[in-house]
Amino acid sequence: MPAVAASSDLERAIDPWLTHMRWRRDFARWRERRINQEAYQRERLARLEQIAGHLEGLRVLDLGAGMGGFAVAAALRGAQVVASEYNPAYCRITTLRATRHCLSLPVINAAGEALPLPDATFDAVVCWDVIEHVQSPDQVLHEIARVLRPGGVALVTVINRRAWIDPHYHMRGINWLPRPWAEWLIARRGRVKQGAAFRDMQRLSDMHYFTYHAFVALAARHGFSMRDLREEDLLRGALYSPKPARRIARAALHRLGLERAAYRLQRDWYAGMFELGLVKQ
């Protein structure tokens, strides 16, 4: 399929999966980023390099690849990528996205709890915005550990059960409410995820959110040691905030020797998401 035709088909394939988010004030820009997702992966590629080293020749499983933006971007950087996705429509979108760049990218339709892949196949697994939607986070971590080589790494994002601003519904305080009350507020604000035929778990009460220490304990049971990648950024002076007031506060905390303690307090009781590196022992 010519790249131009693939690009046109890609837009048509993506659009039905975006209609439920029309309440977003930035919907047009958000849609453009979904259509050209591979062009917006600089930070995620840097995260992978942070924990796994150079991408050239790196064997990578993109678990829960979604619409394929990261998988295609990593393949364009020379990684040997396999994309695994539960949603068949997203598998087709990923293939169309790869075709747009004349890439032959392996795409498998599978659940993270039962990957049709051999043991110790990959140097790295990336699992972005996935854990909250699976049936069993415990089984998914088991499968990640199984397909990684010894010493391999996984990049995982995990939603904070205490998140003040919910990353899915963009609403303040709902994670501090009983789930029935929170879902009533979500429906009242018109932010229920209707209008797209999702197969994964999307309702707030269905999703798996974790406290930081609960997820660390779960990962440890599968033989992983943990790296908090944002805390690493903080310690090397690379955790940037665009808000001047926050930068001033952080500088003051740094002078008092309290910056790391303040970060951990904010991480445990406020942050929306954890960015974690799991290292297979």
Which pLDDT does position 254 carry in this prediction? 87
Which pLDDT does position 247 carry in this prediction? 85
Which pLDDT does position 24 carry in this prediction? 85
pLDDT for 55-110, tens place per residue? Answer: 999 999 999 999 999 999 999 999 999 999 999 999 999 999 999 999 999 999 99
Which pLDDT does position 74 carry in this prediction? 98
Q: Where are the alpha helices (H) located in 172-238, listed in sequence order?
A: 179-188, 212-220, 229-235
CATH topology of domain 3-162+197-237+271-280: Rossmann fold (3.40.50)
| The pLDDT of residue 1 is above 60 | no
- Could you tell me the CA-to-CA distances from 235 to 45, 164, 268 in Å, in that order? 20, 24, 17
pLDDT for 256-273, tens place per residue? Answer: 999 999 999 999 999 999
Backbone angles phi, psi at 61, to 5 degrees: -105, 120
Q: Which tokens hold the place of 125? A: 């697994």
pTM: 0.89
In 3-state terms the chain splits into helix, strand, coil percentages (rounded to 5) of 45, 15, 35
Closest listed residue to residue 169, CA positions, set 132, 220, 144: 132
Domain boundaries, the chain: 3-162+197-237+271-280
Q: Which tokens hold the place of 201? A: 């778990």
Which pLDDT does position 7 carry in this prediction? 76
pLDDT for 164-212, tens place per residue? Answer: 999 999 999 999 999 999 999 998 998 876 555 555 557 899 999 999 9
Which pLDDT does position 274 carry in this prediction? 97
- Please, are residues 4 and 25 in contact by the beta-carbon 8 Å criterion? no
pLDDT for 229-250, tens place per residue? Answer: 999 999 998 887 888 888 888 8
